[in-house]
Structure 1
Amino acid sequence: MPNINISLTKPHEPADIPMETIPVRLKPEIMADNPVRTSPVGSTPGIISDNSTGPNPIFNGQYILNNISMCTQSEPVNIIVVVHSAPAHFVPRLFIRRTYGARKLFLPTEVRVIFLLGRVEYQNLQREIIDEHNKYGDIIQGDFKDAYHNLTYKAVMGLHWVSHYCPDVKYVIKTDDDAVFDMWRFLKYVYAKKLFMSKTIYGIARLQDLIPRIGKWAVPLKYLRNYTRYPFQYCIGFVLILSSDIIPDLYRASFKVPFFWLDDVYVTGLLRTYVGGIGIRQNGGNLILDSMSDQRECLRNIDLNCPYLAVVARTDTFMVLWNLFKTRSVL
């Protein structure tokens, strides 16, 4: 790894309101495709370890809610969709379960979805999340405060979870819960053709971006203090497609690479650079990822080969966009 001085400051978790421990009562009759087995908070199978450094300083398996049997059913899981979700976003999660995270839509390819959450402050919200997990079995909740500046905790938890509980999956698709992803198009143009299979991240690549020192994505001056631009390439985290062979290496790297609060820069920039040998493929062609604009007009014009693989949505446009993807897929 190049000698990039980003500071050795330990991860900082914002002040928290203690929450009374609520026991997780899992119902025997799970209503989705995901029968649930859990492991206690702090318990991991020990598949990934680094004895020279001790526990991972960012995330070392401290789960509040988990499902360790998601990928251990009779049919091997081919694709796992890992969604960064806000705790109160129940409706977006339901939309995803009914669309690109719906197993039955894509058989015989086995697709599963998990939603990554952090700890919440209010007991009523936590009870709702527990009920949701009891029903669907797909909530993965870490024991860190769910906050915007803690997204790197969530990202490293995702690396830990896939490394430990879904190590044989072929592709990892990381999305945010406001993304609409055309799984049919992915299966046709990527999965069936075995593209991007090894040591690769596919996403919206950024190179030599200015490091923001003010505003929403501000990087404190103590980080990358000698740089005005990022000294490495990275991908915007809206949607990422990762070959599964890089996930354990990225998680191992998080033992060594100091915390950096912008999760997409941390995972696809700093961790990837530390590991080495992981390429970035810039989105393009007929697999465009678009996190900025409304692409309904393009998708409505079925005479055109609209190139979008994933687009951003509001709650009121999510199903509209999905249905346009669906119409395109059957033509």
Structure 2
Amino acid sequence: MASLSFPRSIIRMVWKQFQRKEITLTSAIVIVLIIFFVGTTLFSPAKPPTFLTRLDDMQIDLNKLKQDTKDAILIEQDDGEVFVAFRLKDSAHFLNDDRGGRLLFTYRPEPQKSSALPLTSATNGRDFTVNMPLPTYPLTLANNTFLINNEHLCSSSLNMSFVVLVHTATENFLRRASIRETWANHRIFRNHTIRIAFLVGQPEKDSTQVLIEHESVMHKDIIQGNFMDSYRNLTHKGVLGFRWVSEYCSHAKYVVKTDDDVFLNVFKMFEKIDTNVFNKQKHIWCPVRQNGTSEIQREKGKWKIDASLFPNMKHYPVTYCNGYFVILTGDLISSLYEASRTTPFFWIDDVYLFGLLVDKVGGVKFETLPNLNLNENKAIECFNSNVTCDMFVANANSDGVMDRLWFRAINQNIALVKKYSNNLLLKNLNTTKT
């Protein structure tokens, strides 16, 4: 209390001046309020911020929350824990008067009797719980989906053979660079037009975001969604791709979905187009997982599914694709995107994008693609052999492998290279070293 003796002595002096009518009552009140504010700020011990510790009796109005929120980010961890961070306006009714800040909710997907899952919020070391409806459909259905949108990448004036949607992690700059300079380098091809769009979410680090924005300015092939870039957000990324094609590249004859560690023998792709292998409608070519043959993991594993999802089932009830490489006819994409509006969200993207949505659309034909390989060492061995490697798709996860496979594919497919490449590539054929 000794720390308050100085402001208290001043208050007593002001009171005596008022009693002697040396100052007015209004002036005295103003002076006392100023002294009280300064005194409690400078002389009082630091007071920890006040947090809400109970929401049991608090009715959360989601519309009001949206009005009070500057932005919200969904963060999904690999272990299944999910965080929704709300950055509130200073006027937010969730906080006292003029105190701005952040309110952090988390939920853990566990079986519940009710339709709402529990959300817990860690505030100053304490938890509180409230039942709150969870997002039911993909986040990329929202109006503010595109944080980065290169809408002119796929010009309507182009006779687009196919557009490639690459699911890529935000920090994989070198992988994207390798793809641009090898099998997806649209500047070196003729007779067929190809464009590539790299799909990303939001990175954890601001410095990574700056680099992505610079990359987008340089190459104009980045599409960024308003969600955190994580494994459990791949479904959001996939719907983002469907939406982008529907709105900005709907004239593409074929759409290829792949990952950033996949090498495509693009010359064989062109050959299949020219020989009418893909001359169909409402078709998907991929590594097919037939209905009732793919086991649902319940106990453990990377794809462990809670018992509340697909209850009483041992296998997924739809045919779907292993999504590392999928070819779709262009007429399907808008229908798949529209189907996501009424198909409840499921975080395993292969099942959702190429199973549940396809099943909702109906009438789609699956065909198995041959010569796909996910063993990087076998791919290197195949392309290094003296005979032409028959691999259509190969894994290229390690640094430099994408470039090595590309150079070997050129040397092994000279006739196709000459048929589908322009002078920019042809003039370097004799000088290329593997």
The letter of the residue matching 1:58 is L
Any idea what the Cα deviations from partners look like across 1:24-57, whole Å, max 9, x if unmatched?
A: xxxxxxxxxxxxxxxxxxxxxxxxxxxxxxx974
Following TM superposition, by how much is the alpha carbon of 1:18 offset from its aligned partner in structure 2, in angstroms?
Answer: 7.7
**CA 1:310/1:57 → structure 2, altered by over 3 Å: closer, same or farther?**
closer
Contact 1:163 1:248 in 2 (8 A): yes
Check 1:293–1:205 CA distance in 2 against 1; reply closer, same or farther (3 A cut).
farther
Number of equivalences? 281
Q: Which residue of structure 2 aligns with residue 23 of structure 1?
A: none
Query: Per-residue deviation at 1:110?
Result: 1.0
Matched, 1:244 2:312: no
Look up the equivalent residue of 1:238 and give its one-letter code: Y
Indicate yes or no: 2:283 matched with 1:200.
yes
1:33-52 paired onto structure 2 within 5 Å: none
Question: Given residue 327 of structure 1, which amino acid in structure 2 is its aligned partner?
Answer: N
The 4+ residue runs of structure 1 with deviation greater than 4 A are: 16-19
Describe the shift of the 1:131–1:12 C-alpha distance in structure 2 as closer, same or farther (beyond 3 A). closer
The match for 2:296 is: 211
What pairs up with 1:292-303 in 2 under 5 angstroms? 292-294=375-377, 295-303=379-387
CA distance in 2, matches of 1:75, 1:245: 17
Distance in 1 between the 2:75 and 2:169 partners?
20
Task: Give the Cα separation in 2 of the matches to 1:275 and 1:245.
Answer: 12
Q: What does residue 410 of structure 2 align with?
A: 326
Give the aligned CA root-mean-square deviation in angstroms: 2.0
Whichever structure has more helix as a proportion of its residues is 2
Contact residue 17 and residue 121 of structure 1 kept, 8 A: no
Separation of aligned partners in 1, 2:297 and 2:360: 22
Q: 1:174 to 1:57 in 2, by over 3 A?
A: closer
- Counterparts of 1:295-314 in structure 2 under 5 Å? 295-303=379-387, 305-313=388-396, 314=398
1:293 is displaced (CA, Å) by 4.6
Q: Report the Cα offset of residue 16 of structure 1.
A: 5.7
Q: Which has the higher contact order (CA 8 A, sep 6+)?
A: 1
**Secondary structure, aligned partner of 1:141:** strand
Question: In the TM superposition, what whole-angstrom CA distance separates every residue of 1:264-292 from its partner, at most 9, and x where no partner exists?
Answer: 111111111111111110122xxx11124
**Which structure has the larger Rg over C-alpha atoms?**
2
Aligned to 1:77: 160
- Work out the percentage of aligned pairs sharing the same amino acid: 34
Alpha-carbon offset, residue 322 of structure 1:
1.7
Q: Tell me how far apart the structure 2 counterparts of residues 292 and 265 of structure 1 sit (CA, whole Å).
A: 23
1:77 and 1:127 map into 2 onto residues whose CA distance is 31
TM-score by length of 2: 0.62
Q: d(CA) in 1 for partners of 2:156 and 2:205? A: 34
Say which of 273, 285, 289 aligns to 1:191: 273
In the alignment, which of 217, 226, 229 is matched to residue 315 of structure 2? 229
Kept in 2: contact 1:106–1:184 (CA 8 A): no
Matched residue SS, 2:394: strand
Preserved CA contact (<8 Å) 1:87 1:117: yes
Which structure 1 residue ranges, 5 or more long, are not aligned?
A: 1-10, 20-54
Question: Aligned partners of 1:65, 1:12: CA distance in 2, in Å?
Answer: 19
Structure 1 letter corresponding to 2:295: L
Q: 1:276 aligns with which of 362, 380, 388?
A: 362
Structure 2 counterpart SS, 1:113: strand
The offset of 1:138, in angstroms, is 0.4
Cα distance in 2 between the residues matched to 1:72 and 1:279: 29
- SS of equivalent residue, structure 1 residue 217: coil
- 1:177-198 alpha-carbon deviations (Å, 9 max, x no partner): 000111111101x211222331
> Take 1:63 and 1:322, find their aligned partners in 2: how far apart are those partners?
32
Distance 1:292 1:274 in 2: 33
Separation in structure 1 between the aligned mates of residue 306 and residue 376 of structure 2, nearest angstrom: 29
Give 2:256's match in structure 1, choosing from 151, 154, 173.
Answer: 173
CA distance in 1, matches of 2:350, 2:375: 16
What is the CA–CA distance in structure 2 between the aligned matches of 1:106 and 1:211, rounded to whole Å? 43
The aligned counterpart of 1:254 is 340
Stretches of structure 2 lacking an aligned partner (at least 5 in a row): 1-73, 77-81, 88-135, 416-434
Q: Does 2:161 match 1:93? A: no
Q: Which of 210, 224, 235 does residue 141 from structure 1 map onto?
A: 224
Which stretch has the larger CA shift, 229-238 or 317-326? 317-326
Question: Given the two structures, how large is their TM-score scaled by the length of structure 1?
Answer: 0.80
* AA matched with 1:330: I
- Which amino acid letter does the alignment assign opposite residue 201 of structure 1? I
Q: Which amino acid aligns with 1:175?
A: T
C-alpha deviation, 1:104, in angstroms: 1.6
CA distance in 1, matches of 2:213, 2:75: 27
Q: Is the 8 A contact 1:211 1:229 kept in 2?
A: yes
Q: Secondary structure at the match of 1:325?
A: helix
